[in-house]
């Protein structure tokens, strides 16, 4: 089965709305854009859409994803991805922009389950470039990094060192730095704010932007729309 995958942004004031409200926005957007989404069966039918990893409230993103399940006839007629993108983009509210659309093959695992890492851009203050480089070097020379996190009302200690894939300075500022870091999501998502608080409690986070969500293909991490299907390909080949 195939679905329409959309990459979109969540920036500005709309970053303060939660995941459930985002889902409602997408339901309204698909109606306004006349996208013939399939509905679930049962007593309370709802649009068949699913999302990538939930974005923490207050964080911004230029790499959010939604999978929209459509009837096969949608892909068999003339398929114009640019026109579909424009229709969706014009129906989205300010701060949410449709960047790209593509056709992908669905599997038993949802996109949320197959995302293996995220790339984050974080602006922090209260630390000099030299101090941050020292903290970074200490992190990558260590064998472990334990973080206390609450789960289901219980405090647990997780070693997250192996989830820190990379961390580099993207820009220098008078009062701090902007860093670019790739963090793993398995077995539990590592938020950049939790990591930075652990390595230096005095850091102040100014802005957090998700740059990428990545899935694992063999030994490579790729963007979830890197492998697209041809819209007119037979459904049985894509199952």
Which parts of the chain fold into alpha helices (H)? 19-32, 72-76, 81-91, 111-114, 129-141, 192-199, 235-238
Residue 162 DSSP SS3: helix
Per-residue pLDDT of the chain (239 residues; tens, 9 = 90+): 788 999 999 999 999 999 999 999 999 999 999 999 999 888 888 899 999 999 999 999 999 999 999 888 887 776 788 999 999 999 999 999 999 999 988 766 788 888 999 999 999 998 889 999 999 999 999 999 999 887 778 888 999 999 999 999 999 998 999 999 999 999 999 999 999 999 888 889 999 999 999 998 888 899 998 765 555 544 433 32
With a CB cutoff of 8 Å and minimum separation 6, the contacts of 55 are 10, 15, 19, 61, 64, 210
Nearest to 225 by CA among 21, 52, 7, 25: 7
The DSSP line for 11-78 is: -GGGGGS-HHHHHHHHHHHHHHTT--B-B--SSS--B-EEESSPPPTT-EEEEEEEEEEB-HHHHHS-
pTM of the model: 0.90
> CB count, 10 Å around CB of 46?
11
Every domain of the chain and the residues it spans: 2-113+223-238, 115-221
Find out whether 209 and 62 touch, Cβ atoms under 8 Å: yes
Question: Is domain 2-113+223-238 in CATH 3.40.50.11540, yes or no?
Answer: no
Nearest to 56 by CA among 182, 193, 167: 193
Question: Is domain 115-221 in CATH 2.60.40, yes or no?
Answer: no
């Amino acid at each position: 089965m195939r679905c329409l995958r959309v990459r979109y942004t969540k920036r500005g004031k709309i970053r303060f709305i939660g995941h459930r409200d985002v889902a409602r926005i997408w339901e309204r957007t698909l109606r306004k854009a006349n996208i013939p989404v399939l509905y679930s069966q049962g007593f309370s039918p709802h649009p068949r859409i699913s999302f990538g990893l939930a974005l923490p409230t207050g964080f911004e993103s230029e790499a959010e994803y939604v999978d929209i399940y459509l009837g096969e006839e949608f892909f068999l007629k003339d398929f114009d991805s640019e026109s579909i993108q424009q229709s969706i983009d014009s129906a989205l509210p300010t701060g949410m922009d449709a960047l790209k659309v593509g056709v992908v093959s669905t599997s038993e695992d949802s996109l949320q389950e197959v995302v293996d890492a995220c790339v984050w851009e974080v602006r922090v203050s209260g630390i000099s470039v030299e101090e941050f480089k020292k903290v970074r070097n200490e992190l990558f020379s260590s064998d472990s990094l334990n973080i206390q996190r609450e789960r289901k009302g219980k405090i647990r200690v997780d070693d997250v060192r192996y989830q820190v894939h990379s961390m580099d300075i993207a820009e220098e500022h008078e009062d701090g730095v902007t860093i670019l870091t790739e963090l793993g999501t398995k077995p539990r998502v590592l938020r950049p704010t939790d990591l930075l608080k652990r390595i230096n409690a005095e850091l102040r986070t100014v802005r957090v932007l998700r740059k990428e969500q990545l899935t694992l293909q063999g030994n490579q991490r790729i963007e979830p729309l890197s492998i697209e299907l041809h819209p007119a390909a037979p459904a049985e080949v894509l199952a």
